[in-house]
Amino acid sequence: MADNSSIEWTQATWNPVTGCSKISLGCKNCYAERMTRRLRAMGCRNYARAFRLTVHEHALSLPTTWTRPRTVFVNSMSDLFHKEVPVDFILRVFDVMRTAPQHTFQILTKRSTRLRDLSPILTWPHNVWLGVSVENADYMYRIRQLKETGARVKFVSFEPLLGLIPSIDLDGIDWVIVGGESGPQARPMDRFWVEAIRDQCLAAGIPFFFKQWGGRSKKRTGRLLDGRTWDQMPSLGALSGN
């Protein structure tokens, strides 16, 4: 958990679940797995089981202790809709988010099928944003399944972006993030892939956030796209259901 996250599009992280398993191309060089090794070596108790999926009862109430409103990335070190996370625990996570309306919670998943299947039994408060990760055109089905959920705010993270996605149905999508892979084995991202998504967002009037070019040193490659940063976020007043 961190109250001052280094992730550009959020302010804090909350990890009632840690650990995960790889299911698609975007998982190959997982930053969370790499960070888990470091945290375990430092003696952090939440990572004693390394990257094996673990639920943390003691972490559930953490957001209720934060009085200052902030945006909170839920499970930056895992995936809330992983098949090994009990349904009852997912429901309890949603209960906490509902009872902390001062915060905006951002959930990101690659498990869009389980997300869609569980959506009817979940209560979707206005302060919960739901997103799916899409690394190339082979995983566009995640966007379709996201749209089938009851989330008030829906977003897509194209990170790590690994290929050209020339045509995206952005109807019903409130926000788009794009980023390149970072770390020692980072796979390259083509500028044209980024511009193609950016231009589709501009045409559709969708807020666009460019997170990073990535590479071995993301600080060196930076965040500039066509000479500027793109930090657009959803306008809460314009979102349906709010």
Where in 33-83 does DSSP place strands (E)?
Answer: 54-55, 71-74
**Taking a C-beta distance cutoff of 8 angstroms, is the pair 160, 179 a contact?**
yes
Q: What is the mean pLDDT of residues 14-20?
A: 98
Other C-beta atoms closer than 10 Å to the C-beta of 166 total: 11
Distance CA 128, CA 105 (A): 5
**Taking a C-beta distance cutoff of 8 angstroms, is the pair 204, 168 a contact?**
no
Q: What is the mean pLDDT of residues 129-142?
A: 98
208-239 residue pLDDT tens? 999 999 999 998 999 999 999 999 999 864 45
Q: In what order do the strands lie in the sheet with 153-158?
A: 12-14, 71-74, 104-109, 128-133, 153-158, 175-179, 208-212
Mean pLDDT of the chain: 95
Give the predicted TM-score (pTM) of the model.
Answer: 0.95
